[in-house]
Amino acid sequence: MRRLSVSAFRSYASAQVDVAPRAVVLSGANGAGKTNLLEALSFLAPGRGLRRAPMTSVQNQTAPDSTWAVSATLDTEDGQRKVGTGRDPDRNGDLASERRIIRIDGVPVKSQGDLAAIGAVSWLTPDMDGLFTGPASERRRFLDRMVYGFFPSHAAQLSAYDKAMRDRSRLLRDGTTDSAWLDALEAAMAEKGIAVAAARAEFVGRMATACADRVSAFPMPALALTGDAEALAAEAPALIAEQALREKIGASRRLDAEAGRALVGPHRADLDVTYAAKEMPAALCSTGEQKALLISLILAAARLQRIERKAAPLLLLDEIGAHLDADRRASLFDEIEGLGAQAWITGTDAGLFDALQHRATFIAVDDGRLTITHLPDDAA
């Protein structure tokens, strides 16, 4: 990334910063706006950002009559590209719209998957420290964000599956007896669901190789994917797997109606992570080991993307330095630089990032204001 601009976004009325395509360190007191800036960057990926916030809640409260926007100039294999996104300002004149609009090189696009085609974004925040012990839904979201970097269509497949599932649940909740509607929605769920499961499974298989071959200061994780759709995708060709999943979903109508939700499908999958050297499930590891495993996964995915797509993802690392000793911090920074990845890293104490002196852009953050205090030695 070469330039980031934000307007009417949380604590930022308006801000713009030009950076070198290397690490960026954001330092400042708690509440200064560091995480808000990472959240703005996370909207350059499909989804609802790193806080999963409603579109209206990220609006700067001192500018209620305008709409928030984020834009960036990115270095890609095809040269520099400009990406912009923000809340739809005038859908039927509704300033409370939850619809997000996206422009690439100034041209509106319809699918958030187009963002993934330009480049991937990965993040690690303190809220993710309980990823291995929390609900499976959080691990699925974490997995899917990494999958976007390899299969840009994955976002659209997930969105289509979720829509068909919601529509089917609504019909079941309303007590519909029209089998034709349910048949059509279940067919769509099966088609998109197997595509989602297959993409996840292929990514996990590639990650197993990437983790096994990696030399790092962080522990090697072993990965496994569980779920009924995932098992079908692994056992049979796509068309046969789709038919089998469709039959499973259809057979579950009564139970789904009683439960008020779909009980079969890739939305029930889980990612199992094990500390390979100890043969210990990540959920049973110490807090420090879990953090190290998360970092290891982020780095392995970035390394794999660098190999396969010739470009590492944009990494957003919130308060990462406070949880690592000096040697681990230095190792992390060296690995990021070795990947050729740009990482935006936050911390209250700029001294935690001394190992990045002379090779990173340092920015002081204060109440939504950005001040560059140091550029890398080789900055153009």
Q: pTM for the complete prediction?
A: 0.91
Task: Give CA–CA dist 313/298, Å, rounded.
Answer: 10
Amino acid, res. 213: D
User: Cβ neighbours of residue 276 under 8 Å, at least 6 residues apart?
Assistant: 211, 219, 220, 221, 222
Phi/psi for 85 (5° steps) reads -150, 160
Tell me which of 42 and 89 has the higher pLDDT: 42
Q: How confident is the model at residue 311 (pLDDT cuts 50, 70, 90)?
A: confident
Single-letter code of the amino acid located at 159: S
Per-residue pLDDT of 220-240, as tens digits, reads: 999 999 999 999 998 899 999
pLDDT digits (tens, 9 = 90+) for 87-133: 886 655 555 567 889 999 999 998 888 998 888 899 999 999 999 99
* Whole-number Å distance between alpha carbons of 319 and 243: 46
Token pair for residue 2?
Answer: 């070469």
Share of the chain above pLDDT 70, in %: 97
Domains and CATH numbers, the chain: 131-310 (1.20.1050.90)
Residue 310: both structure tokens together: 């010739």
* pLDDT attached to residue 90: 61
Token couple for 60: 């700067």
Own/partner pairs for 126-132, CB < 8 Å, 24+ apart?
126/318, 126/319, 127/51, 128/294, 129/287, 129/290, 129/291, 129/294, 131/290, 131/294, 132/273, 132/281, 132/282, 132/283, 132/285, 132/290, 132/293
Section 1-16 average pLDDT: 95
pLDDT digits 0-9 by tens, 285-301 = 999 999 999 999 999 99
* pLDDT above 60 (res 380): no
